[in-house]
Structure 1
Amino acid sequence: ASAGPDTMRSHACRLVRPPPGSPGRPLVHFGSPDVTNTTTLLLSGDGDTLYVGARDSVLALDVSRDDAISLTHRLDWSPSEKDLEQCGLVSFQADCPNFIRVLQFLNSSHLYACGTFAFSPRCSYIVCSTDSTTLMSLKSEEGRGRCPYDPYQRNTAITVDGELYTGTVADYRGNRPVISRHLGEGSRVDLKLDDSLGWLEDPTFIGSTFIPDEEKIYFFFSEVGREYDFIEKFIVSRVSQICTSDVGGQRTLQKRWTTFAKAQLLCQADGELPYNLIQDIDNLPPAEGAAADDTLFYGVFTSQWSVNSGRSAVCSFSLADIRAVFSGNYKVLNRDSLQWSTRVQEKVANPGECGLHNASDNALRFVKENFLADDSVRPAARGLTLVSTEQNYSKVVVQRVQAANLRLYTVLFLLSDSGFLHKTVLLQDGVHIIEEVQVFESPQPTSSLKLSVPKATVYVGTSDGVVKLPTANCSFYWTCAQCVLARDPFCAWDPAGRECVRVSGVQTALRQDVDGGNVEEACLSASLTLRTRSGPGELVSVSLNEVVRLHCPAMSRLSRQLWERPNSRLSADLYLRLEDGGLMFVATPATLGHYLCRSAENGYQQTMAIYLVRQKSSPVAQTPTSFSWFTRRLVPTQTVAEPGPGPRLLSSEGVVPHQADVKQGHAGPTPSTRGNQGTPRQPQRNLSLWTDGEPLLAPRGPCYLKELVVVSVLLVLCFSVLVTLVLYVVRLRVRTRTAPLGGSAGRDTDRRTPVDQEALSGNKVSSRRNGQVVHGAHGRESACNGTLSGSNGHLPNIPI
């Protein structure tokens, strides 16, 4: 499947990311303190043995088991003390060991290995036994032109019919790049490039591929583009070719390639700067029965321009387009100005054509000077396959997979410098990144990637060791919805076994939708209420006025999280939704209670987290209670209390999303619930969530014991004060009614005469004393201008 021109705009990054060491993506690691720089990998034909070129050693690893990597044999191959001492005079001591950079099969019983060997490259024949338990070195020979001097220089090597074809540098300073052939026998002489005209311009070799139908080997590298007359050196990516039947010219180009030609690989979107630095390449053979022209090359590219800094792109190139470019016109080199031109000239010979070693001297001189194709090789479908702004991809391997619907899909495994492996499927409407696996924790300076199609395994070689992981682990998807939403062509849902299984052969009953990921269509007949994993229930104890943050794991980066509360609306004034899908709020009596988070993707919703937020001082209830709000969305079949000490999370084997939740567009509480929040629907069955014999998420109201005591004491005090005031007022009124206004009290009352007492006890009795009128007790006013005195001549004792 090839992506269209707008693929870079429409690719979807689902990126399910299992934590390192989780069963979702089991990683098998091999490493040892005395084994480093395990970056050159070679896989045996049966896939049971992995040969590794490391520092000062060649290893044979048994990888036949799925859960282990074991060392079967180690061949030590290190420089002598004298070699290290001489190397230390011209280079850093850390670069002087023997770093194995070439490891190839010569035949079924021999390997050929080359290493830097203290900046003096050496090669050796290695005998490997049939059971791969023994490695034995036969002889050592000079490796100049077959292996780089510097361990940091990149190179490429491939063997065809027992002969070694390499792309590397042939001198200590790295100024003589060569593409050469070695180990020829009889008339098969060793060949290399004629560097008199600069056939290569400071190249960085990436990879090489043999195409049997053409008997050609293609080399991929980047170099300085001399055809561009810029102030700054412009780096271009190249593909070059040579024929394996080439034996050099008879007089012209003796022991030199007569079939060498090169062309530019252009990984560029319309209107944008090109991604001109190739990082890695892998070829995808044509499907069974298809022509060799359908062979595709997938390359990872970066850019030298700062505007594209930190971005990487993936482009695919077809063998048919490469052939067409090499069959076209070639640029002409002006020997005086050393400038390339594109003027059309008469072809004396076809550069890159096999069999030119028998051509005339005039023809060989023509191909010697015209080796740069005029046209560039553009991406297949004229569009970029993928552009990443987050990951700097460095390695790629590709595989064609047959899905359950018998359609073929292309799957890419992309390794980034930061240690993540992205599994990607190419679709008609774009690119879908299925998952992300963290292979190593810290960035590695060098790494390699190897794919074993028969064993369905990916191997990653790093500076610290070798990591092995399966191309797919379908058991990680534990529901039909997750299995379909993954859109993984390796995996499909088996309704009979109620599990996500690996696709193998013709299995028409499997449920899968790689192109659309439509859960409703794929899983409706398969029943959504099937085997599930334990739910992520959690109890959160907080203090009042404490900031609470609830996390909600997403099904993928394409999903969105939805938070709900029973009989309540999440107001924006009280709750803050975080970018990672979490929920933040301040703990108050109004915000305590149950919370549920659901992840929605492609019209399907799944419960991801359940929380009960309660106050720390709240006592835990001793009997389980049910809550109906959650069971409206979960169909429980069994409540399981797992034995063992310590608190446990929700154990809900059989608790699955309700079928109603699968409908497109469903989010949050149902309309009936919103309209009648006080009377939620009754559940089909009570659901109790337990921890150590106690209900974990049973709804329990917050405790106000301390507040109740304080309020009660204040209420009693207020009531006492009120009673006291009432009694005082009543007593005061009684005394006011029985005592004469302005009269004396106490002992002066006994001194009044009977006439005075009778006058005071009357209703309206007035008397004139000293010319003033004095009213009785019920009078409205008294004359206070005169002097009041008792009948006995004394001043009355009038209280104030």
Structure 2
Amino acid sequence: MENPSLLSLIVALLGFLSPCLTRLTPRVSFPMSSPGRHLTRFSCRDVSNTTTLLLSEDGDMLYVGARDAVLALDVSHKDAIILRSKLDWSPSEKDLEQCSMKGKKMADCPNFIRVLQFLNTTHIYACGTFAFSPRCTYIHSETLTMSIKPDEGRGRCPYDPYQRNTAIIVDGELYTGTVADYRGNRPVISRHLSEARRVDLKLDDTLGWLEDPTFISSSFSPDEEKIYFFFSEVGREYDFIDKFIVSRVAQICMSDVGGQRTLQRRWTTFAKAQLLCQADNELPYNVIQDIDTLPPAEGAPADDTVFYGIFTSQWSVNSGRSAVCSFRLTDIKSVFSGNYKVLNRDTLQWSTRVQEKVANPGECGLHNASDNALRFVKENFLADDSVRPVGRSLSMVSTDHNYSHLTVQRVKGANSKHYTVLFLLTESGYIHKAVLLQSGAHIIEEIQVFEQPQPVKSLKLSIPKGMIYVGTSEGVVRVPTANCSFYWTCPQCVLARDPFCGWDPASKACVEASNTQTSLGQDTEKGNVEEACNSVSFTHRARFGPNKLPAGELVTVSLNEVVRLQCPAASQLSKQLWERPNSRLSSDLYLHLEDGSLSFVATPATLGHYLCLSTENGYQQTMAIYHVKQKSILMAQTPGYTWPQTHPIPTTKAGLHASVGTWPKRADTRQQETEPTQSSWDTQVTTRQRDRNVTFRTEESRQKEAEFRDGELLLLARGPCYLKELVVVSVLLVLCLSLLITMLLYVIRQRCRSRTAPQAGTPTRHSDRRTPVEQEALRGVLSKRNGQALHSGQASRLVCNGALTGSNGHLPNTPI
């Protein structure tokens, strides 16, 4: 692609064509130190940066490569991690001074252990950065002592503690992918500790073999006797303005000993191909973060080996997203056996090979080939085709979390079907446990393992012990892969859709599927409670039937008071619903809040019973029951009665607190598995957010409650008395109406009189006929009479202009 504008157009089009991604929400979340998820932690005051983990074959000993030390941890105990021995391996003061003189920070100059591999049954091979001067040594696995003096580790371990590397030992030989110089400009894939007549090999320095790679992981294929390396690098085959990162898989043959004349002490079987984590009509997730190998099932061919990797994207459209892709070994072999690109040394442009094929690049045994064949494989090492993911689709996409590490396990369910379970470490400090189903990925739970994001981390899975080990800056955290005891009812056990767990009807407990041979209730694929638990749920009529009003938590309120009823969530995937007996919750009276609670104003119409239901995957269960009563009525009718109190039963369930709500004892629509001899309402339900206590009631309290309910029903049948309130309101209404009518009549009368009164300064027709002498006399009489009337208090009416008026508007005793 030579036109940059064409690339921009394609990126924009693919961004618009990208389908809406389904948000993956963990069903249950366990915060730090939650009793619902038991974790074991190891930390020591002088131990930090546990960057490398190595687990013994039996899973009882964990070797840890930390800063300036190698540890041997006994992990065979269930509730503790014990430090058996410690090997201090730190640079001298002189080494630290030289590191500082090179311009490096003192915090980066200690010895960070980056290679830790079993050499044989008695020794471990370890390498560290050692103040930017790598060193390697042999360590006795029993005593944790050095067998020989450390030697130079250039090409085996990185100089910089923050540079990623990979290392694997097969048959006593070390295969590494790292950088071989101080500045980090010479990446190499090499073999060390070669035995017999074999020699150490590395890549040729020819331009194009590796382009600024970031090594991720390596894997051994015993069937082919090949080592596969996974890394990301700059894709020079794409002619873009910006550097385009691509993910790669490379291979070398263990039998390779280099060429006789051409490619002496160089790999003759090196080949690489692109890993394309991309769905149809979407931009690729092109930057690989981590990868893990899932061996084939027992009895399956080696070609069924699957590699699961975490990929991110450099495109802004997919920014903040992580994708999981899987690649089959058979597809990788098919790509390496196909055509290869050729690099033009003059123009540094890649093109599809068109000349005659002289040799098969990547084929084992080329060390005995001719110089012409070796020159051909030297120029043709990039496969023309890309390795596509299984099913040409993404295994999982997360829009909310950036995943950094993963490990994968195949689990056999109760139905004898195998499921793939991923354990993904997020940058925010959580482990996500996800199962891959035909309908898509399902995140069973998330566990917080550390509070703050860590600069360096490592992840190790112990399948025999059922444990995951996480290396952090403070120490090591052990997480059990299964947490079946947390699900204490059959519906919860089935809805978790965890292939590790199933419901045992005999013991009435959620147990690990691998630890029992009995038939377990489990439906990992669909989570169907009806079929897995073999019971029928109660209908809505059974919840609120005649004489079956449920007992619940009493809530006393005053009229016109705002009431808020809480409803704990069964999981983060459930939805809360509210019901009332023979009544519909109108949106005009009730407000459903985002946290599932119900809010309303207390009125005679809103008093009564409320039931909170949790719906998940088509199954409903009761989470809380409330009985809302008015305080005055309760005190007047039952002066000496108190509502029955709950009695918590001590429980040993470890998983009683999760961030989705500490679950109260539910009046589940399935009571057969918990209390088969009781009705659905014989278990009192509370909504204590900080406890999940099982409650019970004595026979005496049941009788008192029955008497109270009968009296309450009789009171509700008679209806409340509002006679006094009615009389008061009627009297007030009559007074208001009388006052209103009086004021209205007064206003009307005033308006009528104002229309008949003469206006000030306006002469009448009679005054116009008077002579000036009469008018002067009239003004004198008027002034005299007016003063006498006002002085004696005999004025009958007073108008706004101060004129005294009679019945016809004329002065009295004045001739017309």
Structure 1 and Structure 2 fold alike (TM over 0.5): yes
Q: What's 1:68 paired with?
A: 80
Is 1:392 the counterpart of 2:392? The answer is no
> Which digits, 9 at most, give the CA deviation of each residue in 1:493-544, with x for residues without a partner?
111111111112773521111112111111125999xxxxxx9986767787
> Which digits, 9 at most, give the CA deviation of each residue in 1:86-105, with x for residues without a partner?
21231112111111111111
Residue pair 1:162, 1:183 contacting (<8 A) in 2 also: yes
Q: Secondary structure at the match of 1:139?
A: coil
Q: What's 2:122 paired with?
A: 109
Q: Distance in 1 between matches of 2:90 and 2:662?
A: 57
CA distance 1:542–1:370, shift in 2 (3 Å)? farther
Q: What's 1:324 paired with?
A: 334
Say which structure is richer in helix: 2
Residue pair 1:154, 1:204 contacting (<8 A) in 2 also: yes
Q: Secondary structure at the match of 2:257?
A: coil
Is 1:571 the counterpart of 2:574? The answer is no
Structure 1 residue 686: deviation in Å? 8.8
Q: What's 2:576 paired with?
A: 561
Is 1:364 the counterpart of 2:374? The answer is yes
Q: Distance in 1 between matches of 2:116 and 2:174?
A: 11
Structure 2: give runs of 5+ residues left out of the alignment: 1-17, 539-549, 652-660, 687-694, 713-720, 736-816
Q: What's 2:502 paired with?
A: 492
Structure 1 residue 613: deviation in Å? 5.9
CA distance 1:435–1:622, shift in 2 (3 Å)? farther
Q: Distance in 2 between matches of 1:254 and 1:471?
A: 48
Residue pair 1:12, 1:430 contacting (<8 A) in 2 also: no
Query: Which of the residues 79, 104, 109 maps onto 1:91?
Result: 104
Structure 1 residue 244: deviation in Å? 1.0
> Which digits, 9 at most, give the CA deviation of each residue in 1:43-82, with x for residues without a partner?
0000001111111111111111222111111111111112
For 2:325, give the aligned amino acid: C
Q: Distance in 2 between matches of 1:240 and 1:184?
A: 20
Q: Distance in 1 between matches of 2:556 and 2:93?
A: 65
Residue pair 1:624, 1:688 contacting (<8 A) in 2 also: no
Q: Secondary structure at the match of 1:432?
A: strand
Q: What's 1:446 paired with?
A: 456
Structure 1 residue 197: deviation in Å? 2.1
Is 1:464 the counterpart of 2:474? The answer is yes
Residue pair 1:519, 1:604 contacting (<8 A) in 2 also: yes
For 2:68, give the aligned amino acid: D
Query: Which of the residues 400, 414, 421 maps onto 2:424?
Result: 414
Residue pair 2:623, 2:666 contacting (<8 A) in 1 also: no
Q: Distance in 1 between matches of 2:629 and 2:580?
A: 14
> Which digits, 9 at most, give the CA deviation of each residue in 1:716-765, with x for residues without a partner?
9x99xx9xxxxxxxxxxxxxxxxxxxxxxxxxxxxxxxxxxxxxxxxxxx
CA distance 1:691–1:256, shift in 2 (3 Å)? same
Residue pair 1:11, 1:431 contacting (<8 A) in 2 also: no
Residue pair 1:333, 1:369 contacting (<8 A) in 2 also: yes
Query: Which of the residues 310, 313, 323 maps onto 1:303?
Result: 313
Structure 1 residue 580: deviation in Å? 3.4
Residue pair 2:231, 2:249 contacting (<8 A) in 1 also: yes
CA distance 1:10–1:715, shift in 2 (3 Å)? closer
Q: What's 1:742 paired with?
A: none
Query: Which of the residues 16, 21, 45 maps onto 2:33?
Result: 21
Q: Distance in 2 between matches of 1:621 and 1:188?
A: 97
CA distance 1:177–1:683, shift in 2 (3 Å)? closer
Structure 1: give runs of 5+ residues left out of the alignment: 1-5, 529-534, 627-637, 663-681, 702-707, 723-800
Structure 1 residue 193: deviation in Å? 0.5
CA RMSD, aligned part only? 3.9
Is 1:343 the counterpart of 2:358? The answer is no
Residue pair 1:451, 1:458 contacting (<8 A) in 2 also: yes
Q: Distance in 2 between matches of 1:650 and 1:344?
A: 67
Q: Distance in 1 between matches of 2:663 and 2:150?
A: 63
Q: Distance in 1 between matches of 2:304 and 2:680?
A: 59
Residue pair 2:647, 2:697 contacting (<8 A) in 1 also: no
Q: Secondary structure at the match of 2:311?
A: strand
Q: Distance in 1 between matches of 2:480 and 2:642?
A: 44
Q: Distance in 2 between matches of 1:385 and 1:316?
A: 7
Residue pair 1:192, 1:256 contacting (<8 A) in 2 also: yes
For 2:620, give the aligned amino acid: Q
For 1:107, give the aligned amino acid: N
Is 1:598 the counterpart of 2:598? The answer is no
Q: Distance in 1 between matches of 2:555 and 2:133?
A: 65
Q: Secondary structure at the match of 1:86?
A: helix
* Equivalent runs, 1:47-58 vs 2, <5 Å: 47-58=59-70
Q: Secondary structure at the match of 1:267?
A: coil
Residue pair 1:73, 1:134 contacting (<8 A) in 2 also: yes
Residue pair 1:331, 1:341 contacting (<8 A) in 2 also: yes
Is 1:482 the counterpart of 2:495? The answer is no
Query: Which of the residues 282, 288, 293 maps onto 2:298?
Result: 288
Structure 1 residue 306: deviation in Å? 0.8
Structure 1 residue 487: deviation in Å? 1.4
Structure 1 residue 555: deviation in Å? 2.6
Q: What's 1:745 paired with?
A: none
Residue pair 2:312, 2:322 contacting (<8 A) in 1 also: yes
Q: Distance in 2 between matches of 1:691 and 1:509?
A: 31
Q: Secondary structure at the match of 1:17?
A: strand
For 1:61, give the aligned amino acid: L
Residue pair 1:559, 1:599 contacting (<8 A) in 2 also: yes
> Which digits, 9 at most, give the CA deviation of each residue in 1:95-143, with x for residues without a partner?
11111111111011111111111111111211121xxx64445320111
Q: Distance in 1 between matches of 2:528 and 2:223?
A: 42
Structure 1 residue 584: deviation in Å? 3.5
CA distance 1:326–1:236, shift in 2 (3 Å)? same
For 2:416, give the aligned amino acid: L
Q: What's 1:607 paired with?
A: 622
Q: What's 2:758 paired with?
A: none
Is 1:81 the counterpart of 2:93? The answer is yes
Structure 1 residue 217: deviation in Å? 0.4
Q: Secondary structure at the match of 2:585?
A: coil
Residue pair 1:156, 1:205 contacting (<8 A) in 2 also: yes
Q: Distance in 2 between matches of 1:687 and 1:329?
A: 72
Is 1:581 the counterpart of 2:596? The answer is yes
CA distance 1:397–1:544, shift in 2 (3 Å)? farther
Q: Secondary structure at the match of 1:287?
A: coil
Q: Distance in 2 between matches of 1:621 and 1:445?
A: 65
Is 1:126 the counterpart of 2:145? The answer is no
Q: What's 2:514 paired with?
A: 504
TM-score by length of 1: 0.76
TM-score by length of 2: 0.75
Residue pair 2:504, 2:518 contacting (<8 A) in 1 also: no
Q: Distance in 1 between matches of 2:315 and 2:330?
A: 30
For 1:558, give the aligned amino acid: L
Q: Distance in 2 between matches of 1:522 and 1:643?
A: 29
Q: Distance in 2 between matches of 1:431 and 1:8?
A: 16
CA distance 1:625–1:536, shift in 2 (3 Å)? closer
Residue pair 2:564, 2:599 contacting (<8 A) in 1 also: yes
For 1:269, give the aligned amino acid: A
Question: More displaced, 507-516 or 149-158?
Answer: 507-516
Q: Distance in 2 between matches of 1:474 and 1:465?
A: 26
* Equivalent runs, 1:162-311 vs 2, <5 Å: 162-311=172-321
Q: Distance in 2 between matches of 1:652 and 1:327?
A: 60
CA distance 1:188–1:600, shift in 2 (3 Å)? same
Q: Secondary structure at the match of 1:85?
A: helix
